[in-house]
Amino acid sequence: MLKTQHIFFFAIIIGSVWAQDDTNSSTTQSNAAQCSPKPDITTYNFGLHLAALFVILLTSSFGAFVPVISKKYPRFTVPNIVFFVAKHFGSGVILATAFVHMLPSAFTSLNNPCLQPVWTNYGAWPGAIALMAALFIFITEFIALKIAANLESTDENNHETTNDITNETNNRTANHTNNVADESLNKSEARFEYLTRHSETALSSRAQIIGIAILECGICFHSVIIGMALSVAGDEFISLFVALIFHQMFEGLGLGSRIAELKFPPKSIKPWLMSLAYGTTTPIGIFIGLLVRNSYNPNSNTALIVQGVFDSISAGILLFAALVELIANDFIYDRDFQKLPKIDQIAAFVCLIVGAGIMSVIGIWA
């Protein structure tokens, strides 16, 4: 039915174009231009935009790498209070990024009156896409953790079976069946307790790694989009550029402090790769924008749909990650946090609110 309506609609347009004179044709072209005006590039400063790429690369990388470097190299260790502030401040930044930067941008893009009726007739597309993204991420993480837990349980059972066989052989050789059996039972109970604690710790660590990886994916989606937006910006370039400097640095500190806390092997390169991924995604978006600046039109239907859908997906991912993986895990489920003095708990809430507030204010410009 929808395709039939589109064919009929296009047939009417073609017929009217053939019937119109040159004046009406000019009017049609003028209306089309109003719907998707291309940015004015007559005053485009390529050197300034290119310099922005390196500045954003520096500020993004600074935010993401500093916490990791501090954790890996004792010489650069910063006080624990700095990590405490950066972690909770960053949670507020990431949450505000989803609510203030991504969702409004998605609604603006997908509710543009120049888009096809399939988009404009249902104004809640951004919210629906964000909802689907959040549910998809939740289900994916649930399945991933189940698979990981089953694999770990299988390994532990195999290890325990091997130990039991060895103990049984030793028992027969020692010819002290009763005493050794009691001892074996006690050891088995102790081993079960140890493995249970170990399993919970490992699963918690694995869950944190998966959660932060999902969080970074959502941030990187959005970072490419805002990088392209900056590279094709005209008169609003300066205000957008300044806002993005703080945006990327604060967001990088929040993400970097989380990456630094993950339990990777001492010589693992994964935390470095995760920091590098965040530091380079926005510059990659800027670079792409510089290459296509003469042909790319951010106001075209295709660009509006792509940006709106990507921002919606990123918002859904960040909302789930920020509320569940970060804030709820830190303030509700972390037993160590519950044992902190009241003043420290209040300070954590203040950092969270301040981070969200500052990022919301930056939303005025970016």
Three-state DSSP string of 173-228: HHCCHHHHHHHHHHHHHHHHHHHHHHHHHHHHHHHHHHHHHHHHHHHHHHHHHHHH
pLDDT at 360: 93
Give the span between the Cα atoms of 256 and 350, in whole angstroms: 20
Angle at 310 between CA 306 and CA 314, to 5 degrees: 170
Q: Are 65 and 279 in contact (CB under 8 A)?
A: yes
Say what the pLDDT of residue 166 is: 54
CA distance 258 to 208: 9
Average pLDDT by stretches of 10, the chain with 366 residues: 41 38 42 62 79 93 90 78 88 91 92 91 94 91 79 61 55 50 47 42 65 86 86 81 88 88 86 93 92 82 90 91 88 88 94 94 84
> How is residue 27 written in tokens?
């009017």
C-alpha closest to that of 273 among 262, 285, 287, 289: 262
**In this structure, are residues 63 and 280 in contact, taking their beta carbons and an 8 Å threshold?**
no
Q: What is the pTM of this model?
A: 0.71
Structure confidence at residue 103 (pLDDT):
93
- Please count the other Cβ atoms lying within 10 Å of the Cβ belonging to residue 304: 21
Q: Would you mind telling me the total number of residues written for the chain in this entry? A: 366
Q: How far is CA 296 from the centre of its chain?
A: 26
- 3-class SS of residue 293: coil
279 Cβ partners below 8 Å, 6+ apart?
Answer: 57, 60, 61, 64, 65, 252
R_g (Cα) of the chain, nearest Å: 27
Count CA atoms closer than 13 A to 223's CA, side-chain side.
28
Tokens of 165: 């066989």
| Cα angle for residues 57, 259, 284 (degrees, 5° grid) | 25
Q: What is the pLDDT of residue 217?
A: 86
Query: Closest Cα partner for 96 from 254, 240, 295, 298?
Result: 254
- The tokens for 360 are 């919301």
- Is residue 318 within 8 A of residue 98, CB to CB? The reply is yes
Q: What is the pLDDT of residue 6?
A: 42
Q: What pLDDT shows up at residue 193?
A: 46
The structural domains of the chain, with segments of one domain joined by +, span 55-153+190-363
CA distance 361 to 355: 10
Q: What is the dihedral of CA 49, 52, 54, 56, to 10 degrees?
A: -140
Per-residue pLDDT at 170: 55
Contact 293/228 with Cβ under 8 angstroms?
no
